[in-house]
């Protein structure tokens, strides 16, 4: 991040000190926000040997991840999204209003104590149920923190997103608080802000970083090869895809290569037990694990990938240059379908679409067999596609340099 010069020292009430980066990740469901924040924090601290990062996350599995040196996390009380779209607190016997107030207070207190030089907010401009607004107000009034809104490449259909942001007053918050808006993708692939009434001034603050490259642990050992990786991401909505893959191997005893199935931490209970029984009956043609914090190693060794269409999984497919078949979810939002459809148009992946292709054991058998001859993403890759982490570290460096220069004036 320092680009070879003297280490940047930011100025606070205690005098000069090493840079501090805070990342907010609301994480009501799944792993996407936490994994993205963790990748950003790791890259920022690797680029600047003096910088530290603190991730605020509501993920119930945050403690099962390892974090790099100088990266830590604060676990916010968890909330769960119900099937009707409402929310409930996970564990502490509080109503949703009470737990939101508690989370909001913890975020604000942490920000005051940690005094971040840069705050990077993932996806939600106002936070979960507006919980971030007091912190944004405080940091803006103090004027010592650069505020950044980070958006994944696809959010939702433009009309649906516009209505959601209007309901949350998110456009107003974006215009008012954020010094920069980073989109972790390429404008030539998709514009997640299409349909949002952002001013010309806000649009001028946007930066298209490219996708966030992932790397495998150098000491990691992949499973015995050859195999295809089956991953539904966090797994909470992966029932249909996992069932389809297992049905394919059950129907075709000659289907090869074998499959390594990573359920994800949120595919559990009786459903998981049923899948385990079916996996065992396949006599090694499919092997399964529940949660894998180093899934990058399994990606690296795979011949190909069958997956859902979440942002992090898509980054891994591109980073490890794997032929992939994406089976996107279409509810509660079309994000995955939009990403997979556009990626298929560009020749980066193949998509299995329920309406167009039909999701049957036979279509999955053909998809798995086809991975052996399917082109790799690199054969269609465009310039800057995976430059996201490098771009982010340059932007953090620029924000810190500007902040230090302002303090010196």
CATH code at position 265: 3.40.50.2000
Q: Which domain holds residue 135?
A: 10-213+387-408
Q: What is the mean pLDDT of residues 206-211?
A: 97
User: Whole-angstrom Cα distance, residue 182 to residue 209?
Assistant: 7
Spatial distance between the Cα atoms of 179 and 306, rounded to a whole number of angstroms: 39
Q: How far apart are CA 175 and CA 409, in angstroms?
A: 27
Task: Tell me the pLDDT of the chain averaged across its residues.
Answer: 90
**37, 110: one domain:** yes
Judge whether residue 4 has pLDDT over 50.
no
85: pLDDT strictly greater than 70: no
Residues 124, 201: one domain? yes
One domain for residues 304 and 324? yes
- For residue 247, the SS3 value is helix
Q: Rounded to an integer, what distance in angstroms lies between the CA atom of residue 397 and that of residue 395?
A: 5
For residues 63 and 181, state if they share a domain.
Answer: yes
**Sign of the Cα pseudo-torsion (119, 125, 126, 131, in order):** negative
Asked if residue 3 has pLDDT above 50, the reply is no
Split at pLDDT 50, 70, 90, the class of 89 is confident
Query: How far, in Å, CA of 203 to CA of 181, rounded?
Result: 8
pLDDT in tens, 312-326: 999 999 999 999 999
168 and 114 in a single domain? The answer is yes
One domain for residues 81 and 155: yes
Please state the φ and ψ torsions of residue 115, each to the nearest 5 degrees: 50, 65
Cα 283–chain centre separation:
34
* Same structural domain, 25 and 115: yes
Residues 176, 243 within the same domain:
no
In a domain, 329, yes or no: yes
Query: Is 221 inside any structural domain?
Result: no
Could you give the CA distance from residue 121 to residue 125 in angstroms, rounded to a whole number?
A: 7
In a domain, 182, yes or no: yes
C-alpha to C-alpha distance for 368 and 249, rounded to whole angstroms? 10
Distance CA 206, CA 273 (A): 46
Q: Using one digit for the tens of pLDDT, what is the confidence trace for 99-116?
A: 999 999 999 999 999 999
User: Which residues, in sequence order, are bridge partners of residue 73?
Assistant: 55
């Amino acid at each position: 991040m320092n680009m070879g010069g003297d280490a940047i020292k930011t100025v606070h009430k205690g005098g000069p000190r090493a840079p501090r980066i805070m990342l907010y990740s609301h994480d009501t469901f799944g792993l996407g926000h936490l994994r993205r924040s963790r990748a950003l924090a790791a890259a920022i601290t690797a680029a600047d040997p003096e910088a530290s990062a603190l991730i605020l996350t509501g993920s119930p599995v945050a403690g099962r991840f390892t974090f790099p040196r100088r990266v830590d996390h604060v676990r916010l009380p968890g909330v769960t999204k119900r099937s009707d779209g409402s929310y409930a607190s996970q564990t502490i016997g509080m109503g949703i209003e009470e737990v939101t107030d508690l989370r909001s207070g913890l975020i604000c207190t942490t920000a005051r104590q940690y005094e971040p030089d840069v705050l990077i907010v993932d996806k939600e401009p106002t936070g979960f149920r507006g919980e971030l607004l007091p912190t944004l107000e405080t940091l803006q009034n103090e004027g010592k923190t650069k505020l950044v809104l980070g958006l994944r490449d696809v959010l939702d259909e433009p009309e649906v997103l516009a209505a959601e942001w209007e309901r949350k007053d998110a456009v107003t918050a974006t215009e008012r608080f954020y010094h920069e808006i980073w989109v972790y993708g390429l404008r030539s692939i998709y514009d997640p802000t299409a349909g949002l009434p952002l001013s010309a001034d806000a649009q001028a603050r946007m930066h298209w970083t490219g996708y966030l490259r992932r790397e495998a642990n150098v000491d990691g050992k992949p499973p015995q090869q050859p195999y295809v990786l089956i991953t539904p991401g966090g797994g909470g909505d992966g029932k249909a895809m996992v069932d389809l893959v297992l049905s394919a191997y059950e129907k075709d005893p000659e289907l090869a290569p074998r499959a390594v199935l990573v359920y994800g931490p949120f595919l559990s209970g009786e459903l998981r037990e049923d899948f385990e029984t079916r996996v065992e009956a396949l006599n090694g043609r499919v092997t399964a694990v529940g949660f894998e914090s180093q899934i990058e190693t399994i990606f690296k060794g795979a011949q190909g990938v069958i997956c859902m269409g979440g942002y992090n999984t898509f980054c891994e497919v591109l980073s490890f240059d794997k032929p992939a078949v994406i089976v996107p979810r279409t509810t509660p939002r079309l994000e995955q379908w939009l990403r997979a459809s556009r990626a298929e148009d560009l020749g980066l992946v193949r998509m299995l679409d329920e309406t167009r292709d039909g999701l049957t054991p036979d279509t999955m058998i053909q998809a798995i067999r086809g991975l052996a001859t399917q082109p790799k993403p690199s054969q269609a890759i465009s310039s800057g596609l995976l430059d996201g982490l490098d771009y982010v570290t340059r932007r953090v460096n620029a924000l810190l340099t500007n902040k230090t220069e302002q303090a010196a004036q």
